[in-house]
């Protein structure tokens, strides 16, 4: 893919610390157009800035939009690493297929991410636990309010230096088990990383926050009892020394972090049960002292230990509200590979050049 570079005259001042999450954006962004009959065209890296939007642009009305999220990490030798970027590329193809959107080839996706990050490598922060968050997204930009797939799209990538997702660091969070709202149902868009899924999830998030909880635990849309995900993360539980997590069969987002953690756990000899776990079974295991640890997995927060669960007013505490031993070891191992601190025997890292 040919990528044109449009240089900006004045570079921004880079923040030194307190990055937050999505507060700052870099000097450049990537753009690629798609036109039916012509395919993808006009790949370019241009100064980061506003885009003009016609009020009838389809994405604004019917939410034909998908996105991805990954990070670039700086090693102590000042190499810049990506973590399994082809997994994000493949997932975006699947999301786009579901949303009747064109599928950007895996190698073009990875090239676009690599080339933009390479130009912006000075923006990858070096402090402990910081990284450059990469947000690729695609949206329907045809004009018109008729309901049908758009004939034109834009694929873009923006970059933001970030600190820890939770300012307080890796600490257990309180989770509210949502039994009124649902995130996904069979045949729906649960497996696709699309903006619409998030719009629909906000009401539950707001409700949980009002009650003093950080995130919600989603139950399945049909029976309202099988555990699916936690907020924007996949979720795993350690019960009787075995791991339980929801299978990837349509309603759960296939997380790159989830997949990586499962690889590591199996390598360590853990039995990983990818099954529909009934919330009542989980509550029972907790009461019988068999529920040892629980944690969410996702690119943004990496691993987020669960300290408390509230299901229909019944509250259980996990591991005395402390980060579990296995949870911590997984966090250290995965972030160790991502920041190039420990050997990457899985060949997951991609050196940006």
DSSP designation for 123: G
Which CB, 234 or 319, lies closer to ligand PLP? 234
Q: Which of 266, 119, 249, 260 is nearest to 190 (CA)?
A: 249
Entry field: residues in the chain: 353
SS3 of 85, please? helix
- Report in angstroms how near the CB of residue 232 gets to ligand PLP at its nearest: 5
CA separation for the pair 104, 113 (Å, rounded): 12
DSSP output for 268-326: TT--EEES--BHHHHHHHHHTT-EEEEEEEETTTEEEEEEEEEETTEEEESGGGS--HH
Nearer of residues 174 and 193 to ligand PLP, judged by Cβ = 193
Closest distance to ligand PLP from the beta carbon of 145 (Å):
28
* Spatial contact of 193 and 95, defined as CB atoms under 8 Å apart: yes
CB 61 within 8 A of CB 180: no
Report, in Å, the least distance between residue 200 CB and ligand PLP: 11
Q: How many angstroms separate the CA atoms of 139 and 60, rounded?
A: 9
Q: Count CB atoms within 10 A of the CB of residue 96.
A: 21
68 or 115: whose CB is closer to ligand PLP? 68
Nearer to ligand PLP, 15 or 254 (CB): 254
- Alpha-carbon distance 35 to 292, whole Å? 52
Cβ proximity to ligand PLP: between 150 and 232 the closer is 232
Q: Which one, 80 or 334, has the nearer CB to ligand PLP?
A: 334
- Minimum Å gap between C-beta 141 and ligand PLP is 23
State which residue, 132 or 233, has the beta carbon closest to ligand PLP. 233
* Helices H / strands E in the chain, number of each: 7, 18
Name the DSSP letter for residue 171: -
Assign residue 323 a region: left if phi > 0, alpha if psi is -120 to 50, beta otherwise? Answer: beta
CA–CA distance, 242 with 185 (Å, rounded to integer): 27
- From the CB of 302, what's the least distance to ligand PLP, in Å? 9
The answer to whether the CB of 160 falls within 8 A of the CB of 26 is yes
Helix residue ranges, H only, 21-84: 58-62
User: Measured from the CB of residue 350, what is the shortest distance to ligand PLP in angstroms?
Assistant: 15
Closest distance to ligand PLP from the beta carbon of 203 (Å): 15
CB-nearer residue toward ligand PLP: 43 or 255 = 255
CA atoms within 13 A on the CB side of 187: 1
Q: Minimal distance in Å, beta carbon 95 to ligand PLP?
A: 10
* Residues of the shown chain interacting with ligand PLP in the complex, contacts defined by CB under 6 A: 69, 193, 229, 232-234, 253, 255-258, 297-299
**Smallest separation, CB 33 to ligand PLP (Å):** 25
Please identify, using beta-carbon distances, which residue of 28 and 165 lies nearer to ligand PLP: 165
């Amino acid at each position: 893919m040919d990528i044109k570079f449009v240089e900006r005259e004045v570079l921004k001042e880079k923040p030194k610390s307190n990055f937050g999450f999505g507060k700052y954006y870099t000097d450049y962004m990537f753009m690629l157009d798609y036109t039916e009959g012509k395919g993808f065209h006009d790949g370019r890296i241009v100064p980061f800035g506003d885009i003009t939007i016609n009020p009838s642009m389809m994405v604004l009305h019917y939410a034909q939009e998908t996105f991805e999220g990954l990070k670039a990490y700086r090693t102590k030798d000042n190499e810049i690493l990506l973590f399994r970027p082809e997994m994000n590329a493949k997932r975006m193809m699947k999301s786009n297929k579901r949303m009747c959107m064109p599928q950007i080839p895996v190698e073009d996706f990875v090239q676009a991410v690599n080339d933009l990050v390479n130009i912006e490598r000075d923006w990858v922060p070096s402090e402990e636990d910081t990284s450059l968050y990469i947000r690729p997204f695609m949206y329907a930009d045809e004009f018109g309010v008729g309901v049908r797939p758009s004939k034109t799209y834009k694929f873009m990538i923006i970059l933001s230096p970030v600190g820890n997702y939770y300012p307080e660091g890796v600490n257990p969070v309180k989770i509210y088990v949502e039994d009124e709202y649902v995130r996904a149902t069979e045949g729906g868009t649960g497996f696709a990383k699309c903006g619409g899924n998030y719009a629909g999830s906000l009401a539950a998030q707001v409700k949980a926050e009002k009650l003093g909880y950080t995130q919600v635990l989603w139950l399945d849309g049909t029976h309202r009892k099988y555990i699916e995900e936690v907020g924007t993360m996949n979720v795993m539980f350690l019960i009787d020394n075995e791991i339980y997590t929801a299978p990837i069969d349509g309603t759960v987002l296939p997380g790159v972090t989830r997949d990586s953690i499962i690889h590591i756990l199996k390598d360590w000899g853990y039995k990983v049960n990818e099954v529909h776990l009934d919330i009542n079974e989980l509550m029972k295991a907790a009461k019988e002292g068999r529920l040892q640890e629980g944690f969410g997995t996702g690119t943004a927060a990496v691993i987020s230990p669960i300290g408390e669960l509230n299901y229909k007013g019944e509250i259980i505490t996990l591991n005395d509200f402390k980060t579990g031993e296995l949870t911590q070891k997984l966090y250290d191992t995965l972030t160790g590979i991502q920041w190039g601190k420990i050997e990457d025997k899985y060949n997951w890292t991609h050196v940006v050049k």
